[in-house]
Amino acid sequence: MVVNRLKLTRGTELGGDYPPHIDWIFWEASENWQVIAAFCIDRVYGHCYRYFEGAAPLAFEGGSRMRKKITGFKNYRAIAKEFVEHHVERQLEERKREAANQLQKLENDRLKEPVNSDMSLEKERRNDRERKRLKEALVARRISEQTKPGEQKPEQTASTYAQYAGLHTQDQQYKNEALDQLIVRRHFVQNVVVQVIERHFMDALDDVIPSG
């Protein structure tokens, strides 16, 4: 999608330069990220709810099924059902609301104009490009050394080297920008996992069950 949008909206910028409207392309490409993340929140909520639905009867039953000895409540299933519906569900709903609020903060950040550089993002982007440049260099070297029997090895210039490495067209610039967008997406996913899911659902999940 990003590559096609860059091709269709190219302006008067020189080849190899980023277009001035790159922010708009990013916002367009990432407009559904919040929807997808919200769906993940619902899935996590559902998994947590089903976990407590299965765990609560075991907790109120007590004893050991292997030894056929029950030390808990005789009507443990009914008690567990009431506990989940009136206590666990309320606790999970509150965590779900907090997670949604945190997700909205990430969405607000996504919609802002890029101002400050994220060092971890820039480091990953630099490492990714360096790995790609090494791969391109190795490909260019391999192609430049290929000659048929009896043929003289052609003279190598900066232009031919760039051609072998796939760096001589504007399409390559589009692909590089698309790769940068994938790195940004990975960081967004990481932020959702850590700041939304782990912080508001998984951290201290045992607090949902009252002690004592």
In sequence order, the β-bridge partners of residue 69 are 64
In sequence order, the β-bridge partners of residue 64 are 69
Higher per-residue pLDDT: 21 or 130: 130
The answer to whether the CB of 125 falls within 8 A of the CB of 179 is: no
Query: What pLDDT does residue 192 have?
Result: 92
pLDDT band, very low/low/confident/very high, at 148 (cuts 50, 70, 90) = low
Mean pLDDT of 178-200: 83
Higher per-residue pLDDT: 49 or 171: 49
Burial (CB < 10 A; 0-12, 13-18, 19+), residue 13, is middle
DSSP assignment letter at 206:
G
Domain extents for the chain? 22-112+187-208
Give the number of other CB atoms < 10 A from CB of residue 88: 20
Q: Which of 35-39, 41-45, 56-60, 104-108 has the lowest mean pLDDT?
A: 56-60
CA distance 37 to 171: 31
Higher per-residue pLDDT: 182 or 46: 46
Burial (CB < 10 A; 0-12, 13-18, 19+), residue 136, is middle
Non-local CB neighbours of 199 within 8 Å, separated by 6+ positions? 99, 102
Give the number of other CB atoms < 10 A from CB of residue 176: 16
Q: Which two tokens stand for residue 130?
A: 């360096």
Please report the sign of the dihedral spanned by the C-alpha atoms of residue 189, residue 195, residue 199, residue 201. Answer: negative
CA distance 102 to 199: 10
Query: What pLDDT does residue 19 have?
Result: 54
Higher per-residue pLDDT: 21 or 146: 146
The per-residue pLDDT of the chain, averaged, comes to: 76
Tell me which H or E stretch contains 51: helix 33-61
CA dihedral of residues 92, 94, 95, 98 (deg, nearest 10): 160
Q: Is the pLDDT of residue 130 over 80?
A: no
